[in-house]
């Protein structure tokens, strides 16, 4: 991503949102789309950023194991049509309130 025309010293914060799709298929059948958020603060400004990390999938409570494919959350939370209807705060709130029930 290039930020053409900006002085790197004036860029103090960069936030990147992205979505990713995944499939669980061993004991359950789940197709989902998740979201990643990177928030980089730099008091001296930023000219180049490199982000590296790992996704850790955690689940608060067990899900009933069955053979029915679940696609309830197989919609991109950052889809352009959704993004036009809701603020970023509303999009994040909706995403973090998802559950597998």
pTM: 0.70
- Give the model confidence (pLDDT) of 28-75 as tens digits: 888 989 999 899 999 988 888 888 888 887 777 777 777 888 888 888
- Give the model confidence (pLDDT) of 62-73 as tens digits: 777 778 888 888
Where are the domains positioned within the chain? 11-46+67-96
Q: What burial letters (b/e) apply to 46-74, b meaning 16+ CB within 10 Å?
A: beeeeeeeeeeeeeeeeeeeeeeebeebe
């Amino acid at each position: 991503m290039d930020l053409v025309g900006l002085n790197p010293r004036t860029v103090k914060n960069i936030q990147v949102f992205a979505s990713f799709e995944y499939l669980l298929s061993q004991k359950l059948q789940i197709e989902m789309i998740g979201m990643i958020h990177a928030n980089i603060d730099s008091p001296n400004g930023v000219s180049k950023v490199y982000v590296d990390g790992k996704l850790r999938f955690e689940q608060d409570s067990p899900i009933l194991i069955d053979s029915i494919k679940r696609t309830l959350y197989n919609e991109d939370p950052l889809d352009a049509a959704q993004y036009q209807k809701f603020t970023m705060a509303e999009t994040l709130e909706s995403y973090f309130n998802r559950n597998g029930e």
